[in-house]
């Protein structure tokens, strides 16, 4: 509030609408949006901006081959350090991995995998969970009983343990991870949405719609769904962070995204051995990527929660 | 009821989403081998029979046999459990020591410098995956400084048949414990901080605290005697559940630090395609959580009279 008031005089000439939209813009959390925006940009344009290819080693210069193998030509040089350390090159700014592939390029493609898997997984989970939640809340009776019992049982298992169980029968694969995320996380939405719908059902506009003989389908899609979207959006952004961590953990354990693809979790797992030789950068960079992504998703979720729920404004 | 549903869900999902035998036998496996595996497992029978057999075995406390070690899953599990509990307890203590005081401070000085620090700590706690924290700890303290051992749990072991290890086990080889416990507790300290803060804020805003303040009781006493006690109820329930979750989700941390707990068992089961092992560990963790949830519900009634009355 204070910042808006201080700057108000400079906006004096602007119209009312412009001032209001300025206030909304000033309130938007800049840091998480910036991080998310950058990561999305990198993910979308990875093939264009990545300096090297993701699966093939970087062609080393004769000087590098000479220094490492005392030969004038070699297929690749592995474990080149980042550019600020001795032996590093600006051509591969973050060094190369154990197969001589460029770490920076792989990180960029990795952002793609993390974002796509986490987004689609949470999206599916959100769709299933919201629909079931609305059904349970609005239809009541045995619909409610059955759906909520299953939801409660579903919620008892920790999400990582559940994901591991499913991955043990599905095996590795990008779409398997998406399926697992959807199966694990839907119950969180149905729980929250059902509570909302129970309260909405008693509101006048829903009662009036019922009296007017509007079909159940229209009531659900026209009147109930738009009103629970706030809750769903908050949950969505908070779950996004958890989904990223679950994907990284599964990949780390070797049952997530399969090997040649550059998933961040997988990159960390592959470099665990070289960590012991003091090559710390290989495991740290993907870890920073994961943390940044989760951090921004969480910040956005917190901001949305406070913004959409006036009771929480001063907490 | 919840337990039965959970077991049914696990059974149904496993049968619907994949085939454990197909995972065990490689693509080019001989048909007779696959058929034998199926028979060993009872997978050649119709689904309802399989289901009844599954439930029956569970009721008798039989979680099946591990493929790899040809021992009952239950025995292996209980052999590993003390290690996991040790790690869980240590992480639990760390999460409380870090989370609760900071949470109280931020609640007492809302919107102050302390509060902002608390918010940042909680945010980072919830955002940095435990395995990343673990790796950074290994790099800094294990490799660069060389202060702490990186792998394993040390030599002390919990042996069921030897009573002298029952006590000593928990207090030995602390240097091995520090890093994995911190990496595991890190995430939960963020959650703990948030719960403590909001619980404390709720209590501080309530009428009886206002009354105590009006009576002229010094602020220190208000907090220590009246606010603290009541704000701890949600924290404690949450903490109890947390302890169990920590024991069960430590998989990645245990793999990184090579800590021979339940999580590592799960990982071994995964990489050896030892499906009964994975299923057994998952079932056990579900069982533990359902039982604890039930216990918490019952205890809640004792602690908080309002809940008893509303029933």
**DSSP per residue over A141-153, as a string?**
HHHHHHHHHHHHH
Structure token pair of residue B295: 């216990």
Q: In Å, how far is B308's CA from the nearest CA of chain A? A: 22
Contact B136 A299 (CB under 8 A): no
Contact B129 A158 (CB under 8 A): no
A41-76 pLDDT, tens digit per residue, is 877 777 777 677 666 666 666 666 666 666 666 666
The predicted model scores a pTM of: 0.79
| Contact of B265 with B272, CB cutoff 8 Å | no
Q: In Å, how far is B177's CA from the nearest CA of chain A? A: 19
Q: What single-letter DSSP state applies at residue B261? A: S
> Which contacts qualify for A281-285: CB closer than 8 Å, 24 or more apart?
A281/A81, A281/A82, A281/A94, A281/A95, A281/A103, A282/A79, A282/A95, A282/A97, A282/A98, A282/A103, A283/B135, A283/B139, A284/B135, A284/B136, A284/B139, A285/A94, A285/A103, A285/A107
Q: Which of residues 269-288 of B touch A (CB under 8 A)?
A: 269-271, 273, 275, 278-279, 281-282, 285-286
In chain B, what residues touch A241 (CB-CB under 8 Å)? 126-127
* Closest residue in A to B253 (Cα–Cα): A249
Residue-level pLDDT, tens digit, chain B, 311 residues = 667 777 777 777 776 666 666 656 555 566 666 676 666 666 666 667 777 777 777 777 666 666 666 677 777 777 778 788 888 888 888 888 888 888 888 877 777 777 777 777 777 777 777 778 888 887 777 776 766 666 666 666 666 566 666 666 666 666 677 788 888 888 788 888 888 887 787 777 777 777 877 887 777 777 777 777 777 777 777 777 777 777 766 788 888 787 787 888 888 877 777 777 777 888 888 888 888 777 777 777 676 666 555 54
The per-residue pLDDT for A11 is 46
- Of B109, B51, B77, the C-alpha closest to B263 is B77
Please count the other Cβ atoms lying within 10 Å of the Cβ belonging to residue A12: 7
| Contact of A172 with A254, CB cutoff 8 Å | yes
ipTM score of the complex? 0.77
Distance between CA atoms of A66 and A69, rounded to whole angstroms? 6
A215-236 pLDDT, tens digit per residue, is 888 888 888 888 888 788 888 8
In chain A, what residues touch B6 (CB-CB under 8 Å)? 153-154, 156-157
Contact B135 A283 (CB under 8 A): yes
DSSP states of A87-125:
T-BTTBTT-B-TTS-BHHHHHHHHHHHHHHHHHHHHHHH
Helix/strand/coil for B72: strand
The per-residue pLDDT for B173 is 65
Q: B13 in contact with A at a CB cutoff of 8 Å?
A: yes
Angle of the B73-108 helix axis to the B262-271 helix axis, nearest 10: 120
Which parts of chain A have pLDDT scores under 70? 1-28, 50, 53-92, 273-278, 309-315
- Of A156, A122, A154, the C-alpha closest to A136 is A154
Question: Which of B6, B131, B270 has the CB atom closest to A156's CB atom?
Answer: B6
DSSP states of B197-240:
HHHHHHHHTSHHHHHHHHTT--HHHIIIIIIHHHHHHHHHHHHH
The per-residue pLDDT for A137 is 82
- Of B279, B285, B281, B282, the C-alpha closest to B18 is B279
């Amino acid at each position: 509030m204070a910042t808006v008031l201080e700057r108000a005089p400079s906006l004096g000439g602007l119209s009312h609408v412009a001032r209001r939209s300025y206030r909304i813009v000033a309130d938007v959390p800049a840091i998480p949006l910036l991080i998310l925006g950058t990561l999305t940009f990198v993910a979308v344009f990875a093939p264009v901006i990545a300096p090297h290819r993701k699966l093939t080693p970087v062609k080393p210069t004769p000087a590098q081959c000479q220094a490492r193998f005392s030969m004038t030509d070699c297929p690749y040089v592995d474990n080149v350090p980042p550019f600020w350390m001795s032996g590093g090159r600006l051509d591969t700014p973050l060094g190369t991995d154990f197969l001589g592939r460029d770490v920076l390029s792989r990180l960029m493609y990795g952002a793609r995998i993390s974002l796509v898997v986490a987004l689609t997984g949470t999206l599916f989970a959100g769709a299933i969970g919201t629909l079931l939640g609305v059904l349970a809340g609005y239809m009541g009776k045995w619909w409610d009983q059955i759906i909520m019992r299953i939801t409660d049982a579903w919620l008892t298992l920790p999400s990582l343990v559940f994901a591991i169980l499913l991955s043990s029968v599905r095996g590795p694969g990008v779409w398997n991870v998406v399926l697992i995320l959807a199966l694990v996380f839907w119950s969180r939405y149905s729980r929250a949405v059902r509570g909302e719908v129970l309260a909405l059902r008693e509101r006048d506009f829903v009662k009036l719609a019922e009296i007017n003989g509007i079909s159940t389908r229209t009531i659900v899609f026209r009147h109930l769904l738009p009103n629970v979207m706030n809750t769903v959006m908050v949950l969505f952004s908070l779950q996004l962070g958890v989904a990223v961590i679950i994907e990284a953990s599964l990949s780390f354990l070797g049952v997530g995204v399969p090997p040649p693809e550059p998933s961040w979790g997988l990159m960390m797992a592959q470099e665990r051995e070289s960590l012991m030789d003091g090559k710390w950068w290989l495991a740290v960079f993907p870890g920073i990527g994961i943390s940044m992504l989760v951090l921004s998703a969480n910040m956005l979720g917190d901001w949305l929660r406070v913004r959409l729920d006036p009771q929480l404004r001063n907490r | 009821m919840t337990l039965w549903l959970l077991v049914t869900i696990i059974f149904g999902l496993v049968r619907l989403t994949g085939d454990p035998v197909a995972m065990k036998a490689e693509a080019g496996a001989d048909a007779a081998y696959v058929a034998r595996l199926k028979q060993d497992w009872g997978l050649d029978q119709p689904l309802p029979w399989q289901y009844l057999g599954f439930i029956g075995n569970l009721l008798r406390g039989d979680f099946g046999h591990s493929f790899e070690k040809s021992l009952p899953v239950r025995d292996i599990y209980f052999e590993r459990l003390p290690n996991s509990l040790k790690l869980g307890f240590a992480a639990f203590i760390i999460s409380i020591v870090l989370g609760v005081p900071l949470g109280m401070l931020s609640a007492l000085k809302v919107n102050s410098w302390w509060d902002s620090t608390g918010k940042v700590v909680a945010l980072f706690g919830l955002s940095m995956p435990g395995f990343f924290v673990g790796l950074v700890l290994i790099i800094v303290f294990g490799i660069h400084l060389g202060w702490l051992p990186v792998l394993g749990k040390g030599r002390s072991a919990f042996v069921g048949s030897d009573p002298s290890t029952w006590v000593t086990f928990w207090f030995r080889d602390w240097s091995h414990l520090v890093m994995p416990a911190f990496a595991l507790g890190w995430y939960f300290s963020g959650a703990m901080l948030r719960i403590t803060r909001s619980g404390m804020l709720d209590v501080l805003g309530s009428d009886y605290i206002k009354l105590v303040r009006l009576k002229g009781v010094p602020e220190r006493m208000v907090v220590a005697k009246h606010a603290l006690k009541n704000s701890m109820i949600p924290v404690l329930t949450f903490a109890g559940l947390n302890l169990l979750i920590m024991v069960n989700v430590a998989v990645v941390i245990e793999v990184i630090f090579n800590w021979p707990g339940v999580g590592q068992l799960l990982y071994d089961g995964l990489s050896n395609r030892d499906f009964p092992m994975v299923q057994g560990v998952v079932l056990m963790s579900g069982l533990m959580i359902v039982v604890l949830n039930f216990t918490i519900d019952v205890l809640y009634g004792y602690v908080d009279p309002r809940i008893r009355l509303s029933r």
